[in-house]
Amino acid sequence: MLEKSQQAYQEAIQYIPGGVDSPVRAFKSVGGVPPFIERGKGALLYDIDGNEYIDYVQSWGPLIFGHADEETLQAVCDQAQKGLSFGAPTLLETALAKEIVELFDSVDKIRFVNSGTEAVMSAIRLARGFTGRDDIIKFEGCYHGHSDSLLVSAGSGAATFGTPSSPGVPADFTKHTLLARYNDIESVKKCFAASDEIACVIIEPIAGNMGLVPAKEEFLQELRALCDEHGTLLIFDEVMSGFRAHLKGAQGLVDIKPDLVTFGKVIGGGMPVGAFGGRAEIMSHLSPEGPVYQAGTLSGNPVAMAAGLSAIRRLKKDPSIYNILETRAKGLVGGFKKIASDHGIPLQVEVRGSMFGFFFNDKPVENFDDAKRSDLEFFAKFHQEMIKRGVYFACSQFETGFICTPLDEKLIDMTLEKIDEAMKKLA
């Protein structure tokens, strides 16, 4: 079934560490050979062995309109013919910035970078520069990219491999990072009691890297109040949830206004991109206006800006897309939960907009400790069975799934049939 992928993987290992350019892609947590993808169209992926998959990963979130979307491709091709990169200002940057600023009340100005990691790294530097403080608070299980100070009790790939931090990260880099428990305000209060030098609190308001675990609105309200009390900036990492959970990200679902926001994924339409934005008085501290340095050769890349602008304008034009995608996501996980129950298998499910998650767990998941109690061995077996049946779920219990517009009810019904087949075999 995966003979060519097996050969390709063995060759890749000779030239690329682990054969992949991002650890989770190696399938180490679920076993088996990672399919090498040749092409995608709509909600479907095709590997080099000729296998077809219903894709619930969607490049880990960016492709809300699916693979090889015609409008996105046209925007990319039109710009590519004019040039791939200039290292100079373009109208596209301003146009995309304006679209995002108009949607997010918390964002007066925004700057584009090349990845979510870079966006978060820059936002934290800005928060430190603005406040004159060094310490930060992050939450166990929240993943904010692979910059040194944030590889502390991270989720996602770090959780998959059971290594919540990484060799190569000096203790001096992480001594300014305080850890709190997600959805636990008392743990945050302890962090504030331990330091009066906290520049910012960074959180995924909808955590997507310990599985899908939304923050409770009351918790976020208390977090906002604590930050105000201590003169600390609140950063929402919406790299994943931005334009996925809602047109206005998590901020469209809860009435809480952060000081800074990070973006990525959907805002690039499938091209590499990141961004961070916030209040004008904070953003004015960035060079060349202010003293906090940040730069990038390919930042604001015109091809990425064109793809992102196409995507965001389409979403703004028809925000009912989110209701449709959420209905489909609920149909998928609701059907999944019933099938699991019929086979006596405990399952917890969650949906926010076009994002969904499931845990083989008999109790609700509210934090990283809860997520880690999931049956990882069963998840691995389940994932293998679904790959065999042509369904491409994220290859880690600690990742989030995504619905794209071409993924219709027919494909969801097909998926549920295959889930039932897998459960019959595994139960």
pLDDT of residue 172: 72
Task: Say if residue 90 is in the same domain as residue 176.
Answer: yes
Domain final position from 298, 317, 336: 317
Q: Full-prediction pTM beyond 0.85?
A: yes
* Residue 237 a catalytic site member: yes
Domain final position from 275, 302, 317: 317
pLDDT of residue 153: 56
pLDDT of residue 162: 37
Q: Number of folded domains in the chain?
A: 2
Task: Say if residue 310 is in the same domain as residue 393.
Answer: no
Task: Say if residue 57 is in the same domain as residue 194.
Answer: no
pLDDT of residue 98: 99
- Per the rule left: phi > 0, alpha: psi between -120 and 50, beta: everything else, 378 is alpha
Q: Residues 265, 322, 370, 372: which is the catalytic one?
A: 265
pLDDT of residue 1: 85
pLDDT of residue 73: 98
* Residue 143 a catalytic site member: yes
Averaged pLDDT in 10-residue chunks for the chain of 427 residues: 95 96 92 96 99 98 99 98 97 99 98 97 98 96 82 50 59 84 97 96 97 98 98 98 98 97 98 98 98 96 98 98 98 98 98 98 96 97 98 96 98 99 95
Q: Residues 9, 143, 182, 322: which is the catalytic one?
A: 143
Q: Residues 55, 237, 259, 370: which is the catalytic one?
A: 237
Task: Say if residue 236 is in the same domain as residue 102.
Answer: yes
Task: Say if residue 101 is in the same domain as residue 48.
Answer: no
The whole domain housing 108 covers 70-317
pLDDT of residue 407: 98
pLDDT of residue 175: 83
CATH (domain of 386): 3.90.1150.10
Task: Say if residue 25 is in the same domain as residue 151.
Answer: no
* Residue 317 a catalytic site member: no
pLDDT of residue 65: 99
Task: Say if residue 184 is in the same domain as residue 196.
Answer: yes
Domain final position from 295, 317, 339: 317
Task: Say if residue 333 is in the same domain as residue 291.
Answer: no
